Structures are given as structure tokens and as C-alpha cells.
Amino acid sequence: MIPRPHPEPGRLVDAEFQVLDRQVLDRNGEPVVTVDDVEITDIPRGVELDPDADAPVIENLLSGSAVLGTRLFGGRPPESRWQRIRWSHVTEIGTAVELNTTADRLDASWTERWVRNHLIGRIPGGRHAPD
Amino acid sequence: MLLTELLRMRVVEVDGTEVGRVVDARFRIDAQGGARLVGLIVSPHTRAPFLGYERAALDEPLVLDRFLRWLHRGSFLVDWPDVRRLDDDGLHLREGYERRPSTLP
Amino acid sequence: MPSRRALPILAGPALAGLLCLAGCATGDPVDSSLKQAAAAQSSIVLAVDLLGEGKATLPATRTTVDDALRELASAEQSLGESPTGRRIDQIAALDDIRDATDAALAARRELDDPGTVSRHAAADLDDTASELRKAATS
Amino acid sequence: MKRLFAVALGILTAIGGFVDIGDLVTNAVVGSRFGLGLAWVTVLGVVGICLYANMSGRVAAVSGRATFEIIRERLGARAGMANLAASFLINLMTMTAEIGGVALVFQLVTGIDPLLWVPLAAFGVWIVVWRAKFSALENATGLLGLSLIVFAVAVFLLQPDWGHLGMQLIPRIPESESGSTYWYYAIALFGAAMTPYEVFFFSSGGIEEGWTVKDLGQTRANVLVGFPLGGILSIAIAACATLVLLPQAIDVTSLSQVVLPVVQAGGTIAFGFVVVGIAAATFGAALETTLSSGYTLAQYFGWSWGKFRRPARAARFHLIMLIGLVIAVLVLLTGVDPIAVTEFSVVFSAIALPLTYIPILIVANDRQYMGRHVNGKLVNALGLVFLVVIVAASVAAIPLMIITGAGQ
């Protein structure tokens, strides 16, 4: 079944209720991250907004300790440390957020790959299925 | 801009009265798969959505369900064009803004 | 909705729980120590009887005696430390516990070599156990 | 025929898997001090865990989402984190108690100091978690755990005065105990029967084994037949202590005392069965709590997890379990008494129960997750009754712990 290219047009999505804190699965159903925050188009502050201008869009799903940390304990995460997954990767919003790419190709999975290559992968038997 | 910066922002009418806090942002998927903001869901009571109760498809008459729905009564959707200005102290609505139901179809 | 206050809310009860670990045992220290010691000594008596009847294994019996010796030591220590109004009872209780500990140690040595408990050592265990039980219930 | 075998296997592993060091110790302690006056709490706890496991198993099978994913989704990141911190620490405490339990059983068999067995037991747990297939480890420990039935056999062999024993079932407080210790141990027994890790493991296991809606019948049989029989074993443990230890005022403080009634009833043969049973039950529970430490963190942070994947494809999941095991070993090597750790772990389990029970009860009613498999009227009514019981036990636990000095 070829995964749908993106969620069904016309469908409504409540970002906090259906995207934030949701599990993200890659194309093979392997968990990648949980959505720690959602990046939307910047809205200018203190300025009269033009009602006819284009409304903001969801640009990226964000994850990582910097984003989650500041969300839990306050403060604002430095933008340089936001781990981004482009919204264009999202194919479905269900009980989990599904992507059209594999986990290893996302920079959001660098900690998983680091632990795999430096620790777990090195222990004998780490690389093949449980028998 | 972060969604969580938008969430919990105070929502204020033209004459300055506070009508609640932003608890969610509703987007619509367009033909290319983009998610475009259509409006904000404002709840006059708790500062944060509690267990997603006001829009969850809960129908079992669980006592807890009724209590939590009561806790969230009165949340409504504001169309994005009805938002006039975003300040550090809150979000200002336009004159004569519309209050739509917040439940997800 | 629990916001940033959520974490301290959980720390409160956990702290209270840990506070009580610092030994806020209620009730009279003499009685509780005697009860603790009587329970330990009785379990040695039972274990040694079962060994004698060929029902118990030697390693298990040794383990039971080692566990009971630890309880006897803790009973003696907590009694020794706590100042109680009943000075005379405290000394008498300490003597009973020490007698029981000596009987238990003797039995324990016999369990190592020759691996059975002599009639004499078993009798000491019974006497010290009933002594403790009597003191605990008086 | 294969279907029947699967059903039987599921039930048998549920029985063997139900009892762990917490049930063993708490039931023996309660039996030696209160007789069967608290047996009603075990019955209540069994009904509770049947309900709770049924709901979380159904949520896993229908929605494919495990417990802690749901907890974070529905409570949000901050309350989810508080929940995670409490659940992880208590699971670590239970894990330490289970590994300590395995070491104590080896001491019973060999007489050698348990501190030597602790690293070995932890290594054994790690090897199985690292290499064995999920169902293999479940079935082996579950089936071997069945030899705990010797406790029930021992009750018969001790030829009790059945009338008197029956009378003991009436809840009452012995003179040697106070009201507060009675209720403290009621909470401990309730926490022992409804340990949260069983639910993390049960629901995550459902995903490990790829349960679908078709498997709901099987999971219901496992729970509704396996757990009650596991509960009967718990009461048998208490009955043995009532018949042998209570009359001699031997308040249980060590594992060696827990087995004395079985040895008295059936000698070395019965002893053989009971040590195999305890070793399997505690080793199985050590596996389940180790996996649960991985499940809880991975599901909160969204990492790849699961034994059905190669360790390399769930690296952080395996790293957490390794770290958890190392912490457990270090704690045990300080010489802390595993029995004391066990007694605290069951009470803290009761304290933390609402944190995971409430989100599951709510999601089991959410049509977006469950479709038409939402809770029925009866399940919801029971669910609400237990919500009250669970919150009451959780609130009363700490004050009672302080008043009774943790059950003195």
C-alpha cells in the first residue's frame, strides 16, 4: 500500500490536540521521535495584522532536549538547537504522526544513531534479531 | 514561531476584557498537503486543555467525562482573520469577531 | 491543570515517606525489640526442628539462622540506642536478646561443623526463645 | 489444537507471571501478622488488575499505542514528565527488589551470600532481555512460576482446621496489631496485586506480539482466568503463613521465613518446588520490570523500542535497560535488604497507581482510539468504583506510612 503523499486535503487538524506530544513513525512504522513542539510561520508582534494576508502554516515538527527542556522548565530554546522534521514529510495524522521517509535519514534521529554506533551496536549480538 | 508560544496566550477583546486563553490552533490541509491556520480555540476556564476533553469523541456517560466537560464548558473557535494584533501581553481580537463551536467535526 | 507546580507536588509526599525511614517507629521500643527478637529466635527453633526431622536442607537452615541473627542484632542495637523510661526492663530485655544471640551463634557454628544441631544447643534455643516470648507478652 | 495450546499457554503464563517478590513477601508478612484478615484486599486487587490490564491490553490491541505514549499525549509533556519520573523510579525500586529476590533464592539453595548472586542474576536478566525472543521469555518463566502451586498444596498438607481457617477470612484486626498497620498493609497488598509495571508490560507486550482486534478474546482469557488463579496463589501464601508462622508470632522479615511453612508441609521435595517457583517468578518479574523501565522512557520520548526489533534498531531502549540494571546492582551491593525494598516498592506502587490508571480509563472511552471497542457500561461502572478505591489508597498511603513507621 503506497503511503498517501500527505494528509487528506480539506481535513481539519488541531495542532495541540492531534500533533503535539504525538508519536512520530517513519515509513516502516519505526518510532522516530515524539513531537515536542510545532514550528509555524512567524507572526509579527505589536503590529496590525492584515486580515487578507496568507495565514501562517505549519513548517516543521520539532523535537529534542532543547525544545522539550524549555517547554517543561520555561525559557526559550535557541533556534540553532531545534531538531526539525519538515511538515512535507508528514503523510498521515492518526493516533500517531506518520512520515514518508525512514528514521535514519532524519537528523532528528542522530542520538539514536550515535548510541547505536558507539554503544549498543558494539555489544556482541547487537546487530541481529533475537533468536 | 513556536506553537507553544501561541498556546496559553491571553485573549482580549477590543475593549480590553479577557475572554480566555488560547488552548489550540486549528489548521486545514490544502491540496498540496500544507497545513494552513484557520483559527484558534479559546477556553475561558483552565489555562491548558485537560486530557483533550472538550473535543475528544467521548460518548460514554462517564461521571469523570461529565465533570471534565463541565470544566471545559464554553470553549470556542475564533477565525484567524478575526485576530487583530499579537502583543507580548496577549492576543487582541477584532471588533465584532465571530465565536464558532470548537468541537472537531 | 498541573503546571510547573507538578514536580514539587510529587516531591512532597515522597519526601514525607522517606522522612519516616529515619526510624519513627511508634510504640514502645522495649516491646517492639523483644517482639522482633522473639520472632527471630522462634524462626531459628522452627528451622532447626525441620532440619532435625530431615525436612529442611542444610543451606536453607543456615540462611534462616543468618537472617534471624541479623534481626537479633538489629533488635539489640535499636533497644540499646533508644532511651526508655523503663530502665530495668531495658537491661533485662537486652540480656534476654544477648542470651538468644549466643544460643543462635552456637547453633550456627554447629551447622557449619558437623552440620547438625546438638540436643544441648537446640535446648538452649528453645529456652531463650520462650524467655523472649514471655518477656514480649508480659 | 494449536489455538487451544495458545489459550492454555496464555493462561498458564498469566498465573506464573502474576506472582512476584512483592506478592510473595507482602502476602507472607500479612499472613504472619494478620492471618487471612486481609485476604479480601487481594481479591479486590485481582479484580482491579483484571479490569486495568483488560483496558490497557484492549487500548494496545485496537489503537496500537502503548500506555506511556497515551499518558504523554493526554496529560501533555509536563504532567506526563511528572508521571514518568514517579513511574520510572518506582519501577526501578521494584526491579531492584526482584533482582534481590532472585539472589535470595539462590542463597536459600546454596547458602552462599546473596551479594555474590546479585551481579550474576542481573547479568542473567540482561542476557535474556538482549537475546531471547519476547514470547520465549514469557512462557518459560510463566510455566516454571507455576510450581508456586506448592503453596496451595502445602495448605492441604498442613491439614488445617478448615472451619477455623474459613473464619479467619472475616476481616478483623488482631490485638497485636493496630488499625493503622492493618490499613497500611491493606494498601501494600493492594499495591502488590495491582503493580503498575504489570500494565506497562502487558500493554507494551501486546504491541511486541502484534496483537490485533482478533486477539482480544485471547487476552481477555489470559486476564480473566490467569490473574484470579494467580490471586488464589497469593492467598495460599498468606494461608501458609497463617497456619505456621502466625501461631508462633514469627513476623516475616526474610525470604527464608516465607518458605518455612512449605518445608514443614512437604519437606525437601516441596522445598525444591518452592525455590524453582520463586526463582522463576522473581526472575520473570525482573525481566518484566527491566523491560518496563525501557518501555516507559522510550514511549515518553518517542524512541524506537521493543524486543521484536534488533537491539541496534532500538539502541536507546536497550541502553536505558542496561543503565537500570547497573543501578539496581549498585543499590543491592550497598547491602540494603531486598525484602525492605520490596515492602516499600509495593506501597509506592499503590501511591503511583492513579497516575497511569486515570489516562487509561479515559482513553479506553475515546472513540478516536478505540472505535467501537470503547468501554462497555459494566467496565465503566467498575472502572469508576476502582478509580475511587485507587485514589483513596494512594492518598492514604503516605500518612499511614508515617504513622506506622512503614508497618512496624
Q: What is the pLDDT of residues A71-117, one digit of tens each?
A: 888 888 888 889 999 999 999 998 899 999 999 888 888 899 999 99
- Structural domain boundaries, residue B59: 3-98
Taking only the tens place, the pLDDT of each residue in B8-45 is 899 999 998 999 989 899 999 999 999 999 999 998 87
Q: How far is CA B78 from the centre of its chain?
A: 7
For chain C, what are the domain ranges?
28-137
pLDDT value at D136 more than 90: no
Q: Tell which of D70, D129, D131 to mutate to test the A interface (max A CBs under 10 Å).
A: D131
State yes or no: pLDDT of B58 exceeds 60.
no
Q: How far is CA B20 from the centre of its chain?
A: 9
Contact A130 D81 (CB under 8 A): no
Whole-number pLDDT of residue C2: 37
Within an 8 Å CB–CB cutoff, is residue A13 touching chain B?
yes
Of A20, A72, A119, the CB nearest to D315: A119
Q: What is the largest CA-CA distance in chain D?
A: 59
Q: Half-sphere exposure of residue D82, counting CA atoms within 13 Å on the CB side?
A: 22
Domain spans, chain D:
2-403
Which of D134, D304, D311 is nearest residue A31 as measured by Cβ atoms?
A: D304
Task: Decide if B46 and C3 are in contact by the 8 Å CB cutoff.
Answer: no
Distance CA B69, CA B71 (A): 5
Residue B80 CA from chain centroid, whole number: 11
**Chain A hits for B37, Cβ within 8 Å:** 40, 55-57
> Phi/psi of residue D288, each to 5°?
-65, -40
Chain C residues with CB inside 8 Å of B47's CB? 1, 3
Residue in the structure block whose three cell numbers are 534471624: C68
Hey, is the C-beta of C58 within 8 angstroms of any chain D C-beta?
yes
Convert the pLDDT of each residue in B71-80 to its tens digit: 667 789 999 9
C22 contact D CB<8A = no
Domain count, chain B: 1
Q: C111 pLDDT band (50/70/90 cuts)?
A: very high
Calculate what percentage of chain D has a pLDDT beyond 90.
Answer: 61
> What tens digit of pLDDT does each residue of D322-368 get?
999 999 999 999 999 999 999 999 999 999 899 889 888 888 888 77
Residue C88: pLDDT above 60? yes
Residue A76 pLDDT: 82
In a domain, B105, yes or no: no
Q: How far apart are CA D89 and CA C52, in angstroms?
A: 44
- From chain A, the residues in CB contact with B1 under 8 A are 39-43, 56
Q: What is the DSSP string of D245-258?
A: TTTTT----SHHHH
Given a contact cutoff of 8 angstroms between Cβ atoms, the answer to whether D203 and D57 are in contact is yes
Is CATH 1.10.4160.10 correct for D2-403?
yes
Burial of A104 per CB tally in 10 Å (0-12, 13-18, 19+): middle
Residue B48 contacts C, CB cutoff 8 Å: yes
- The alpha carbon of residue A44 and the mean position of all alpha carbons in its chain are separated, in whole angstroms, by 24
Q: What is the pLDDT of residue D267?
A: 94
Contacts of D387 in chain B (CB under 8 A): 64
Between CA D272 and CA D126 the distance in angstroms is 26
The complex's ipTM works out to 0.84
Provide the CATH topology of domain A15-42+56-122: SH3 type barrels. (2.30.30)
User: All 3 cell numbers of residue D217?
Assistant: 478474546
Residue D188 has pLDDT above 50, yes or no: yes
Question: Does the residue B51 lie in any domain?
Answer: yes
d(C-alpha D41, C-alpha D134), whole Å: 32
